[in-house]
A and B are shown apart, each in its own frame.
Chain A
Amino acid sequence: MTDKAGVTAVPPAPRSAAGAGPGTAEPRLHGDALTLGYDKRTIATDLTVAIPDRSFTVIVGPNACGKSTLLRALARMIKPSRGHVLLDGRDISALPAKQVARTLGLLPQSSIAPDGITVADLVARGRYPHQKLLRQWSPDDERVVAASMEATGVAELADRAVDELSGGQRQRVWIAMALAQETPLLLLDEPTTFLDIAYQIEVLDLCARLHREEDRTLVAVLHDLNQATRYATHLIAMRDGRIVAEGAPAEVVTAELVEEVFHVPCRIIDDPETGTPLVIPAAPGTPLGVR
C-alpha cells in the first residue's frame, strides 16, 4: 500500500475520522468490523468505517468494489453477517424501524413512482415515519413538505404527475421526498447514474447546498471521481471490499491512489474552476506504473 505524505492509508483497524475534531464524540453513524455479502458471496470482510458528522462523504471505487453494498449496510438495507452498524451508539438493526427512519434517510438507486402520482403527493409520503394512525397530517407535515419542495426547486411542479417529468426533475422530487423525512443523515445511492451531465451537476449542486445550508450529514456513492473530488468534504476510496484511503479529497487523491484503486494511469492537476484535484487519465496505451 502506498504511504505518501497526505495519503491516509487505512488498515482495517478503526481510526478516528478526519473532520471530527478533537474532543468530538464518536460519529453518529459508523460500521464496526462489518462482513458484508449476499447469500454465500462475501463482498467485504472486517470493514470498519466512520462517517464524520456534518460531512459530505462520497464513496468511490471501481465497479463491484462494495461501495453500494457498504452504503446499503449503513442504511440497514442489508444486514451484515458479522459486525454492527451503529447509529448514535446503538446497533441499527435493534432499533425500531420508524425511529431509524426519522434519523437516517436513504435515496435508493431506483424507486417506483406509483402510476399518476403528483409531485406533492409523492413528497408527502416522506412523512410516513413521523405519522401515526390518528396523526396522519399535522401542520408540521404540511410545513416540511412545502419546505422540501422549495429547497429542491420542485415547488412549481407540485401538482404535476411525476411520470411526466424529466430525469433531473424526477430525481429532485425523490430527493425532496427524502428531505421531507427530516433526517439529520441522508444516504444517496448513485444519485447521478442515468442522468445526463447537466442533471448530474444539478443534483450534486443541490446536495452540496443541502449539506452546506441545512447542517446535514450526506453520504453518496458516485461513479465520477472528478465530481467526487469537487463535491466531497470527505472521500472514501474502496477496492475489493477494502477502504484504501479516506480523508479530504485534496489530501487523499494522488496519482498513486487512482492507479491503485481504479488501475488507471493518470495525472492529477488542480481543477482550474475549483482548485480541487482533477484526475486526467493518461493517453491511451500508457502502461500502469509508468507516467
Chain B
Amino acid sequence: MSTGIRIGKTHASRDRSLRVGPLSVRFRPRAMLAALACAAAALAIAVVLIGSGDYPLGPGKVVDAVFGNGNPADVFIVRELRLPRAGVALLVGAALGLSGAVFQAVVRNPLGSPDLLGFTSGSAAGALVMIVLVGSGAGAVAFGAAAGGLLAGVLVYVLAWRRGVHGFRLVLTGIGVTAILTGVNGYLMTRAKLVEAQRALLWMTGNLDGRDWADVMPLAVAMAVLVPALVIGCGPALRMLEMGDDAAAALGVRVERVRLVLLAGAIVLVALAAAAAGPVSFVALTAPQLARRLTAAPGPNLLPSLFMGAVLLVGSDWIAQRAFSDNPLPVGVVTGLLGGGYLVAMLAAQRRAGRI
C-alpha cells in the first residue's frame, strides 16, 4: 500500500502520472510548461504594456500600483486607466484562444474558427443594428454584439442539425450564414450616417480603446464559470471526440450532449469577447495552432491555447499602441496582419513540405 505522492512514467508515452493514494492525474510536462510559459508571457507583456505610454512606469511600480501600493497618481493611472484595457486584452485573448481550440476540435478542422462559422458576423450584425438603427451607446452596442453572436450560434447549430451536428456540415452552414450576414452588414453600413459608419467600422476592426471595468466584468464572470466547465468538465470527452463520433460514443461519451455544451460554451465566450473588444480577427484561428506547435501534444490543448490567445492579443495590443505611438492602430489591424501572415506562412511551409 503506497501512500504519498508518486510521479511515474507512463508506458512508452511522454505523459507522466502523478499519484496520491488512490487518486491520479495524467499530464504531459512539456504541455504544462508551455501553458505556464504562455501565462507568464501574457502577464509580463501586460505589465510592460501598462507601464508604457505618455506616463511611463517601471514594471515594479506597475505591480505595486496594481495592488494599490505606491503614489496615488500611479495607482489611479494603472488601476483606472490602463489595467481595464490590459484586462480586456488578456480576457478576450484567452476567451478567443480557448473557444478557437474547442471549435477546431469539435469540427475536426483547423479552419474551424468563429470567423468562419458565422458567429463573428453575427456579433457584427448585432452591433451594427445598435449603432446604425438604434443609435445607442457603447453598453447597448456590446449587448447587441453579444446577442448577435449568440443568435448566429443558435442559427448555425439548428440549421446544421440532422441526427446530430456533423463537423463538416457545421462549417458549411457557418460559411452560408456568414455570407448572408455579410450582406446584411453591408446593407446596414450603406444606411449609416458618416459618423455612425466611422464608429461602426472602428468597432468592426476590433478595438480596445477606452475600455473600463464595466467592459471586463461580463466576460470575467462568464469565464469564471465556463473555463472550468469546458476544460475540466468537457476536456476529456473532447479528446475522445477527436477520434470520430463513433469512436467517442463507443468509449462512453454522450456525443451530442457534450458537443452541445462545448459549442454553447465556446459561442458564449466568443460573443462576450466580441461585446468587449469587437470582432478581433484571427486570434481564435491562430492561438490553437501556435499552442500545438509549442506543446507537440495531440489533443485539443485547451489550456495552452487559452494562454496563447492571451499572449497574442495583449502582444498585438502592445504593438498596436506603441509601434506607431503618434498614431495608434486598432488592435484588430495587428491581429489580422499577424494572424493572416502566420496562416499564409504556415500554408507556404506545408506546400513546400508537399503536404498540400
Residues of A within 8 A of B (CB): 38-39, 75-77, 97-102, 105-121, 124-126, 128-129, 131, 133-138, 142, 145-146, 149, 158-159, 178, 181
Nearest chain B residue, comparing its CB with the CB of A126: B251
Query: Can you sample 15 A-B contacts with CB below 8 Å?
Result: A38-B163, A105-B250, A111-B246, A111-B247, A112-B244, A115-B298, A121-B13, A126-B251, A128-B240, A129-B252, A135-B22, A136-B25, A137-B15, A137-B24, A142-B11
| Residue numbers in B under 8 Å from A121 (CB-CB) | 13, 15, 298
Does A133 contact B247, Cβ atoms closer than 8 Å? no
Chain B contacts of A100 at CB under 8 A? Answer: 252
Give the complex CA separation of A106 and B22 in angstroms.
29
Give chain B's interface secondary structure class.
Answer: loop
Which residues of chain B have C-beta atoms less than 8 A from A98's C-beta?
A: 252
Contact of B17 among A101, A125, A137, A181 (CB under 8 A): A137
The one of B22, B243, B253 in contact with A112, judged by C-beta atoms closer than 8 angstroms, is B243
Q: Are A120 and B11 in contact (CB under 8 A)?
A: yes
B242 CB contact (under 8 Å) in A105, A114, A178? A114
Q: How far is the CB of A281 from chain B (nearest CB, A)?
A: 33
A136 touches B24 (CB 8 A): yes
Find out whether the CB atom of A134 lies under 8 angstroms from the CB atom of B251. no
Inside 8 A of A114's CB, which chain B residues have their CB?
242-243, 298-299
With A and B bound together, what is the CA distance between A137 and B243 in angstroms?
20
A181 CA / B249 CA spacing, docked (Å)? 13
**Quick one: given A38-B163, A114-B299, A120-B11, are A137 and B26 in contact (CB under 8 Å)?**
yes
**In this assembly, does B108 line the interface, its C-beta being within 8 Å of a C-beta of chain A?**
yes
Is the beta-carbon distance between B10 and A137 smaller than 8 angstroms? yes
In the assembled complex, the Cα of A108 lies from the Cα of B252 at a distance in Å of 14
For the complex, count residues of B whose C-beta is within 8 A of A: 34
A110 and B108 alpha carbons, distance in the complex (Å): 14
Q: Is the CB of A112 within 8 A of B108?
A: yes
B138 CB-CB contact with A under 8 Å: no
Check if B296 is an interface residue, CB within 8 A of chain A: yes
Partner of A97, one of B26, B254, B298: B254
CA distance A134 to B15 in the complex (A): 16
**Do A125 and B12 have beta carbons less than 8 Å apart?**
no
A120-B242 contact given A97-B254, A105-B250, CB 8 Å threshold? no
**CA gap between A112 and B109 in the complex, in Å:** 12
User: What's the minimum C-beta distance from A105 to chain B, rounded to whole angstroms?
Assistant: 6
Interface set, chain B 1-55, CB cutoff 8 A to A: 8, 10-15, 17, 19, 22-26
Return chain B residues, CB-CB under 8 Å to A129. 251-252
Let me know if A134 and B299 touch, CB within 8 A.
no
Instruction: Give Cα A202–Cα B223 distance, bound, in whole angstroms.
Output: 50
- Of all chain A residues, the one with the shortest Cβ separation from B23 is A134
B239 interface hit (Cβ, 8 Å): yes
Q: Which of A128, A137, A159 contacts B251 (CB 8 A)?
A: A128
Cβ of B229 under 8 Å from chain A: no
A111 and B236 CA atoms in complex are apart in Å by 17
> Across the interface, do A137 and B244 meet the contact criterion of CB distance under 8 Å?
no
Residues of B within 8 A of A116 (CB): 296, 298
CA–CA, A201 to B19, complex, Å?
41
Cβ contact within 8 Å between B299 and A181: no
For B10, list chain A residues within 8 Å (CB): 120, 124, 137, 142
Complexed CA–CA distance, A113 and B243 (Å):
6
Task: Say if the beta carbon of B349 comes within 8 Å of chain A.
Answer: no
User: A105 vs B251: C-alpha distance in the bound complex, in angstroms?
Assistant: 7
Say yes or no for B232: interface residue by CB 8 A criterion.
yes
Contacts of B23 in A (CB 8 A): 134-135
Q: Closest 9 interchain pairs by CB?
A: A101-B252, A158-B12, A108-B246, A98-B252, A106-B250, A137-B26, A117-B298, A137-B17, A120-B12
Shortest C-beta distance, B140 to chain A (Å), equals 41
- 5 additional A-B residue pairs with CB within 8 Å, beyond A102-B252, A108-B247, A120-B10: A97-B249, A110-B246, A111-B243, A111-B247, A142-B8
The interface residues of chain B lying within 8 Å CB-to-CB of A126 are 251
Q: How far is the CB of A280 from chain B (nearest CB, A)?
A: 36
Instruction: State how many angstroms separate the Cβ of B228 from the closest Cβ of chain A.
Output: 11
In this complex, what residue of B is CB-closest to A116?
Answer: B298
Indicate if the CB atoms of A77 and B246 lie closer than 8 Å.
Answer: yes
Q: Which of B13, B25, B252 meets A124, CB within 8 Å?
A: B13
Q: Please name the residue on chain A nearest to B299 by beta carbon.
A: A114
Determine the distance from Cα of A98 to Cα of B22 in the docked complex, in whole angstroms: 20
Within 8 Å CB of B26, what residues of A?
136-137
Q: In the bound complex, do residue A159 and residue B12 qualify as a contact, i.e. CB atoms below 8 Å apart?
A: yes
Taken together as a complex, chains A and B put the C-alpha atoms of A222 and B158 apart, in Å, by: 37
* Residue in B17, B19, B244, B299 whose beta carbon sits within 8 Å of that of A110 in the complex: B244
- B243 touching A128, Cβ below 8 Å: no
A75 touches B250 (CB 8 A): yes
Report how far A77 CA is from B253 CA in the complex, Å: 11
Given A114-B298, A117-B298, A124-B10, check contact A134 B250 (CB 8 Å). no
Q: A97-B252, A111-B244 are in contact. Are A131 and B163 (CB under 8 A)?
A: no
When chains A and B are docked, how far (Å) is the Cα of A124 from the Cα of B14? 12
Question: In the complex, what residue of chain B is closest to A138 when comparing beta carbons?
Answer: B24
With the chains together, A181 CA to B13 CA distance in Å?
Answer: 18
Asked if B12 contacts A118 (CB within 8 A), the reply is: yes
Contacts of A38 in B (CB 8 A): 163
Q: Which of A39, A111, A118, A129 has the most CB of B within 10 A?
A: A111
